[in-house]
Amino acid sequence: MNLVSLLLNGLTLATILMIVALGLAIIFGLMNVINLAHGEFVTIGAYTLALVQALGGSYWLALLLAPIVGGLLGLALERTLIRFLYRRPISAILATWGLSLVIQQLIQLAFGAAPRRVDSPIDGSILILGESYPAYRLFLIVVAALVVAACAIGFKYTRFGLDLRAVIQNRSVAAAMGINTERVYAAAFALGVAMAALAGVLIAPLTVVIAQMGLNYLARSFFVVILGGAGSIGGVAASSVFVGGLETVLNYQIPVTVSQALVLVIAILIIRFRPQGLLPA
């Protein structure tokens, strides 16, 4: 395997983990809600692309539409279900797990159990240091970098980011200072779901779209958020690169399941000696 391809494959996997984990970092890392339906929101984004293309629309329309669909769905769920579970973590786990099963079944009823393939918006390859590499994967890497940068800037410099950090630090004091904490939590949850739906559109051309596809990303996205440091956008980026790069290298030496297990063991050891994560908030 050429070194350039190995590095780019590792960066592509890191990118996939990064864009999936970003939404989870907002919901779990910043709001302390263990959302076991996060993977299904990724699936909803992928099926949004499949539906748009089936109706004759373009990938770019789905890329714009999926976060809107995800955000509206997240807002509705927060208002009707999640808002009552912020102080009941066990109930939140059970409720979101049940929600994930319901979403899977609804998707199967609507689209059938047969896998779907979607078209990539960018065909062909680009020559990098003498090695040909798929153009869409490079596009994915660039988009992920832009999304991470936008999130970091938004949380640090915008009014919403300031309000959200204030609510996280002390919800009672934030409310006393005039911040509408319920509105901040609703917006944050909607944003996390919108990010997951965006991830689904970006990932879909690289995989087969099925109702259970989100399960492949749920555990590893939690794993990336915890390893990076809960609530840290930079930590998500760093841990995604670490996990994606290490897993890619190991995949060429040992079976995939063994490499994933080995990466998990190494990460557990890191968390044991650095419980605050790689880049804590």
**pLDDT value, residue 44:** 94
* pLDDT > 80? residue 277: no
Residue type, 113: A
The number of CA neighbours under 13 Å toward the Cβ of 250 is 18
Q: Residue count of the chain, please give it.
A: 281
pLDDT digits (tens, 9 = 90+) for 198-220: 999 999 998 888 988 888 888 88
- DSSP H or E run through 159: helix 159-169
Burial of 178 (0-12, 13-18, 19+ CB in 10 A): exposed
pLDDT band at 161 (very low <50, low <70, confident <90, very high): confident
What are the tens digits of pLDDT across the range 117-135? Answer: 888 888 888 888 777 888 8
Q: Among residues of the chain, what percentage have pLDDT more than 90?
A: 20
Collapsed DSSP state (helix, strand, coil) of residue 198: helix
Mean pLDDT along residues 9-14: 84
**81-90, 104-113, 157-166 — most confident range:** 104-113
Which pLDDT score, from 0 to 100, does residue 90 have?
85
Q: Which helix (H) or strand (E) holds 20?
A: helix 3-24
